[in-house]
């Protein structure tokens, strides 16, 4: 495809949007903010999903199958349907769930199904990490780290999502949930770094921030 017919690379915008999302979700899952504050995250996730889906469309148009696929999955599935419904059914119930959601408030629906939804997502993101490794070990590590975070969330789901403390000042206190939160925060830092490196590369034509060598041929 000629550059005349292609759009600008949206990768920096996608990585920055991912960083915004994983910082917020990571703080919640790590137990750094009360669980009830999750209701404030829903409009943020709506915006993040829109940005990532739009970026994926541009990347597909530019024949960037790797970037388009990973941003579509993270935008539509992870920050989209999965987190919207998960936040509504689990955390908005503390203490607003009963009047807002009726029978969907916390404790009235099973949570195991969320773990099963995450199984193919984890597998496919891990596979995408291989392609990332053909570009840079840092990109592969960033992808695999978010894979581990989602894996920890999946385990937490299969355990029945224990540790969500009730009340306005209740936090999430569980090893698997908290571990996933800290991994998400580390992923957010990596997203900011890689996004800035790609942004400066496009602006200056030089790789100002090193991304490391490929680990796969």
Per-residue pLDDT tens digits for 29-48: 999 998 878 778 888 888 99
CA angle 125, 90, 100 (to 5 degrees): 130
Flag whether 51 is in a domain: yes
> How much is the pLDDT for 94?
43
Give the range of the structural domain holding residue 34, as residue numbers without chain letter. 9-204
Among 104, 66, 87, residue whose Cα is nearest residue 21: 87
Average pLDDT over residues 140-168: 87
Q: Is the pLDDT of residue 4 over 90?
A: no
pLDDT band at 189 (very low <50, low <70, confident <90, very high): very high
Structure-model confidence comparison of residues 99 and 154, the more confident one: 154
Whether residue 53 contacts residue 69, with contact meaning beta carbons closer than 8 Å, is answered with: no
Flag whether 2 is in a domain: no
Flag whether 3 is in a domain: no
First to last CA, the chain: 24
Tokens of 82: 């999965």
Flag whether 212 is in a domain: no
Would you give the distance in Å from CA 148 to the centre of its chain?
Answer: 11
Average pLDDT over residues 178-191: 95
Flag whether 214 is in a domain: no
Whether residue 171 contacts residue 36, with contact meaning beta carbons closer than 8 Å, is answered with: no
Average pLDDT over residues 101-126: 70
Flag whether 210 is in a domain: no
Flag whether 167 is in a domain: yes
> How much is the pLDDT for 7?
87
Q: What is d(CA 88, CA 86) in angstroms, rounded to the nearest whole number? A: 5
Query: How many domains in the chain?
Result: 1
Q: Is the pLDDT of residue 213 over 70?
A: yes
Q: What percent of the chain has pLDDT over 90?
A: 53
Q: What's the chain's average pLDDT?
A: 84
Structure-model confidence comparison of residues 162 and 69, the more confident one: 69
> How much is the pLDDT for 55?
96
Token pair 């829903």 in the structure block, residue: 42
Average pLDDT over residues 161-165: 82
Flag whether 215 is in a domain: no
Token pair 């903010």 in the structure block, residue: 33
How confident is the model over 56-111, as pLDDT tens digits? 999 999 999 999 999 998 998 888 876 666 666 665 554 444 444 444 444 445 56
> How much is the pLDDT for 108?
46
Average pLDDT over residues 104-127: 75
> How much is the pLDDT for 107?
47
């Amino acid at each position: 495809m000629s550059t005349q017919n292609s759009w600008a690379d949206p990768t920096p915008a996608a990585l920055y949007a991912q960083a915004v999302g994983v910082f917020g979700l990571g703080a919640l899952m790590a137990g750094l903010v009360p669980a009830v504050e999750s209701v404030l995250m829903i409009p943020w996730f709506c915006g993040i999903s829109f940005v990532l889906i739009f970026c994926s469309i541009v990347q597909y148009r530019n024949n960037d199958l790797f970037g388009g696929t990973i941003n579509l999955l993270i935008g539509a599935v992870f920050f989209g349907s999965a987190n919207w419904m998960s936040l509504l059914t689990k955390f908005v119930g503390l203490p607003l769930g009963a009047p807002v959601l009726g029978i969907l408030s916390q404790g009235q629906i099973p949570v195991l199904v969320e773990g099963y939804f995450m199984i193919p997502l984890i597998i496919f993101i891990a596979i995408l990490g291989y392609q990332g490794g053909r570009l840079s070990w840092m990109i592969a590590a960033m992808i695999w780290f978010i894979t581990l975070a989602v894996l920890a969330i999946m385990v937490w789901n299969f355990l029945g999502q224990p540790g969500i403390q009730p009340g306005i000042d209740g936090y999430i206190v569980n090893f698997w949930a908290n571990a996933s939160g800290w991994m998400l925060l580390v992923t957010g830092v990596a997203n900011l770094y890689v996004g800035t490196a790609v942004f400066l590369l496009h602006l200056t034509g030089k790789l100002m921030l090193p991304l490391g060598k490929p680990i796969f041929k």
